């Protein structure tokens, strides 16, 4: 693999939350992202999956420095972003863009779609005729050039998300964070947007950080997948390897919890049921963060935090007792 586009090392993000106890205000620290490292190669898609509160969205925002990381390093094409001055960062932002989950909320209802797509060009003072570029971008995402004069409410959900993608592409980026880009769409529409993202990637040589909770879409689109739980990466590996040979009990439980659209498989399969909910990140469990819900937790798990290393599974797993039993899924 050539030089990575993005290299994240030991990224940590703490948030301070205030809560009231009687009349006193108590400040507590939530570690939303804890010691996360990942690498995205040129033209590669890395999928980031996890349940709510896992920190996957925070990673996406930190990587673009939309929020300030607490510590760690984010290198984009070899340049360190953490601590970089604002002017310099603005220049680099041309190269890195984001697409959000809800295209309706991320487009200004009072601006025409064309103006929204041209806005990054205006901000970055790109010379040349912006309306030609807007027309070109609209065609690139499968819309018509004359759609530029319309307003967001005139579009369907899938079309609006295409507008969001066109805007992200306006400055010719090399890297895009896709934060749940298809979660709000119906499946028949979702498929078209997923195809579009894949086409654009091969046409333009884009790298993606694909954040989602839908494991089947992530599997379809990603080269590498990282599974997060309470701010930490639990397991990371090539997509197929991870799905077929998941070794972390959390990954296994997650995969076995996803209902597959196959009634025969669904009625036969062995399901690993996790008890309870994700604990509060304000007070995460000691040792392994998953241990309170883990079906195979032992004493060691409470004392010693497992490192994210390859223990002979073929890919890194943050578990003292990685499992080799494959999960009975995806037999279609």
Partner 1 sequence: MSAALSVRDLRVSFKTLLGTVQAVRGINFDVEPGEVLGVVGESGSGKSVSFLGIMGLLGRSAVIEGSAKVGDVELVGASPRTMRKVRGSEMAMIFQDPLSALNPVHRVGAQVAEMLLAHQHDMTKAQARARAIELLDIVGIPQPDQRARQYAHEFSGGMRQRVMIAMAIANNPKVLIADEPTTALDVTVQAQILEVIDRIRKEMGTAVVLITHDLGVVARMADRVQVMYAGRVVERGDVHSIFQQPDHPYTRGLLHSLPGLGRERLTPIPGAPPNMLQPPSGCAFRARCAHATEACAGELPELVSVRRTETACVRATELEVIS
With CB under 8 A as the contact rule, which of the stretches 4-12, 23-31, 89-97, 213-221 interacts with partner 1?
213-221
Q: Which of residues 258-317 bind partner 1 (CB under 8 A)?
A: 258-267, 271, 273-274, 277-278, 293
Collapsing DSSP to helix, strand or coil, 318 comes out as coil
Q: Are strands 207-212 and 45-49 parallel, antiparallel or unpaired?
A: parallel
Kindly list the distances between the CA atom of residue 10 and the CA atoms of 7, 75, 99, 209, 324, in Å, as whole numbers in the listed order: 10, 12, 24, 17, 28
Contact 106, 155 (CB under 8 A): no
- Is 254 among the residues that bind partner 1 (CB under 8 A)? yes
Binding mask 150-169 for partner 1 (x = CB under 8 A): ------xxx-----------
**Binding of partner 1 at residue 253 (CB under 8 A)?**
yes
**Part in contact with partner 1 (CB under 8 A); list of ranges 30-38, 87-95, 255-263, 311-319:** 255-263
Question: Residue 45 forms beta bridges with which residues?
Answer: 208
Q: Is 188 in the site for partner 1 (CB under 8 A)?
A: yes
Q: Rounded distance, CA 71 to CA 35, Å?
A: 9
**Would you call 136 helix, strand, or coil by DSSP?**
helix
Q: What angle do CA 316, 98, 258 make, to 5 degrees?
A: 50
By CB under 8 A, residue 223 contacts partner 1: no
**Minimal distance, residue 260 CB to partner 1, in Å:** 5
Residue 260 DSSP one-character state:
P
Task: Single out the residue of 36, 178, 206, 215 in contact with partner 1 (rule: CB under 8 A).
Answer: 215
Q: Which residues bind partner 1 (CB under 8 A)?
A: 51-52, 156-158, 186-192, 194-195, 198, 213, 215-217, 219-220, 253-254, 257-267, 271, 273-274, 277-278, 293, 330, 332
């Amino acid at each position: 693999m050539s030089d990575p586009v993005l290299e994240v090392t030991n990224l940590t993000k703490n948030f301070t939350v205030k809560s009231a106890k009687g009349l006193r205000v108590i400040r507590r620290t939530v570690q939303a992202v804890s010691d996360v490292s990942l690498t995205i190669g040129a033209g590669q898609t890395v999928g980031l999956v996890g349940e709510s509160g896992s920190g996957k969205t925070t990673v996406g925002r930190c990587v673009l420095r939309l929020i300030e990381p607490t510590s760690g390093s984010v290198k984009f094409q070899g340049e360190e972003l953490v601590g970089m001055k604002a002017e310099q960062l603005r220049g680099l932002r041309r190269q890195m863009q984001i697409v959000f989950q809800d295209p309706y909320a991320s487009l200004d209802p009072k601006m025409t779609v064309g103006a929204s797509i041209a806005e990054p060009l205006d901000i970055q003072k790109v010379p040349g005729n912006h309306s030609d570029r807007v027309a070109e971008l609209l065609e690139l995402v499968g819309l018509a050039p004359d759609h530029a004069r319309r307003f967001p409410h005139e579009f369907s959900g899938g079309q609006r998300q295409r507008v969001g993608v066109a805007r992200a592409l306006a400055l010719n980026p090399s890297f895009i964070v896709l934060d749940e880009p298809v979660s709000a769409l119906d499946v028949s529409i979702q498929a078209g947007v997923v195809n579009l993202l894949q086409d654009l990637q091969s046409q333009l040589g884009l790298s993606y950080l694909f954040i989602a909770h839908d494991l089947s879409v992530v599997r379809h689109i990603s080269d590498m997948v990282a599974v997060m739980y309470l701010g930490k990466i639990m397991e990371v590996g090539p997509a197929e390897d991870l799905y077929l040979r998941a070794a972390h009990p959390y990954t296994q439980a997650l995969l076995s919890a996803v209902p597959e659209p196959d009634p025969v498989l669904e009625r036969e399969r062995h399901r690993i049921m996790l008890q309870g909910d994700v604990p509060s990140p304000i007070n995460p469990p000691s040792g392994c963060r998953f241990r309170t819900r883990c079906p195979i937790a032992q004493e060691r798990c409470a004392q010693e935090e497992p490192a994210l290393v390859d223990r002979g599974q073929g890919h890194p797993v943050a578990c003292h007792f990685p499992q080799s039993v494959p999960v009975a899924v995806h037999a279609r």
